[in-house]
Amino acid sequence: MLIESAQDAFAVGGYNNTNTADVARGAGVAPAALYRYFPSKRELYLAALRDAGPRLLSIIADVADDTGDPLETIWRVGLAYYDRSGSRSNYARLWFQALGDVSDPEVREAIAANFTATVDLIARLLEKGKRAGIVKAGLDTRVAAWQFIATGLTFDLLHHIGLEDELDRPRVEEWGRRYIDSLREVRDGSR
């Protein structure tokens, strides 16, 4: 409860503009209660950042059940991410706020861990596709996975700055098809 409240508060105000009273109020506890669990505002902030990645990854993993076709799974994950961009929790906004704090090595490490965990998941799916012969054999799966992350960050950015109309569902599907087609092994002129 405390971490979720902290995620919401830090997503809105960032670290410097959020006080522990805001977090406590959001969690329905007295401010002193925070210090029973977290010795400082900074430790609460780091806990909020470290918790956000696994929560978002579990949302992605729920969509990424085994369809047998890793490219279909990546397609579904991407569309589900887009579909949730307007309604999901503040994880992406929290990370955008935290980017201003990356001079702190622990903040930088927490953000990096969140992103690399998702890259690892997508890269594993792409490696599975390579073994099945449906993903290009020479593809650098880490580069392709980071490209997938970059697309998700673009969706988040457009949402947070009020430009959702730039990427409506048909455009997102076209973007997704182009991405998937760039990964797919082509044999004998067929897709």
Segments making up each domain of the chain, as ranges: 52-183
Kindly report the CA angle at 103 between 88 and 140, in degrees rounded to 5?
65
Q: pLDDT by residue (tens digit) across 84-106?
A: 765 555 777 888 889 889 999 99
In DSSP notation, 112-136 reads HHHHHHHHHHHHHHHHHHHHHT-B-
Fold observed for domain 52-183: Tetracycline Repressor; domain 2 (1.10.357)
Contact 10, 89 (CB under 8 A): no
Q: pLDDT by residue (tens digit) across 49-66?
A: 999 888 778 777 777 766
Contact residues for 158 (Cβ-Cβ < 8 A; gap 6+)? 164, 166, 167
Digitized pLDDT (tens) for each residue of the chain, 191 residues in all? 899 999 999 999 999 999 999 999 999 999 999 999 999 999 999 999 999 888 778 777 777 766 678 999 999 888 888 877 655 557 778 888 898 899 999 999 999 998 999 999 999 999 999 999 999 999 999 999 999 999 888 888 888 888 878 888 898 899 999 999 999 998 765 54
